[in-house]
Amino acid sequence: MRLDKFICKSTELTRSEAKKLLKMGEVRVNDEIIKNPATQVHENNNVTVNGESLTARSSRYIMMHKPVDTICSNVDEVYPSLLHYIEVDKAFDLHIAGRLDADTTGLVLVTDDGRWSHNIISPKKHCPKVYRVDLRNVITLEKSAELIERFKCGLQLQGEDQLTLPAVLEILSEKQVLLTITEGKYHQVKRMFAAVGNKVVGLHRQQIGDINLDVGLGEWRYLSDGEVSSFL
């Protein structure tokens, strides 16, 4: 973890205040004065400010049910950040592991543990994500088997050189499906259905890895130890 971030996690200081302390030479790591805020520190390092040892608070791991017209960002834009819904200290020190568009609802995982979130979003991890998709056009019984196979084999998305990785399509009704993907390309679900001549009119993420959404719209909860460890 960066030293300035460690100081913020251990105190009520802002990032700019932590950097000011570092510049003034008031921070020591293992009895050595450190002024570089990007210095990496670990749990077994002794970090002191003006002689007082610091202990970083435990990392936080949160599930939230994202509403529409909110964004997965730490900064408000046209729509407000979903972090406004999470009533914890320093909520805006958290970040979202795997973003959703403003018009998409469903499961988002929120944390201040960068290594943990990397295991979710890294393309090399192939973390499965399950979406419930509402479609404009009817999927006929005659076409369903062919469509399932096309998603399984990979689709050619506009502007992409390679096919998508195999995806699992489960048809719930003539206009609603469950789709499981292990990638996170830009607007991937919408582009996949565009590639087969359909259009997404509603999108909801239900599951990431083994973590299944189980809170109401706009609500959140801390993850259990088992849920956290599933991405360690």
Q: What are the catalytic residues? A: 101
- Contact between residue 166 and residue 152 where contact means Cβ atoms under 8 Å apart: yes
- Contact between residue 74 and residue 92 where contact means Cβ atoms under 8 Å apart: yes
By CB neighbour count within 10 A (0-12 exposed, 13-18 middle, 19+ buried), where does 75 fall?
A: exposed
Q: How far apart are CA 149 and CA 107, in angstroms?
A: 27
- Contact between residue 83 and residue 60 where contact means Cβ atoms under 8 Å apart: no
Q: How far apart are CA 135 and CA 132, in angstroms?
A: 10
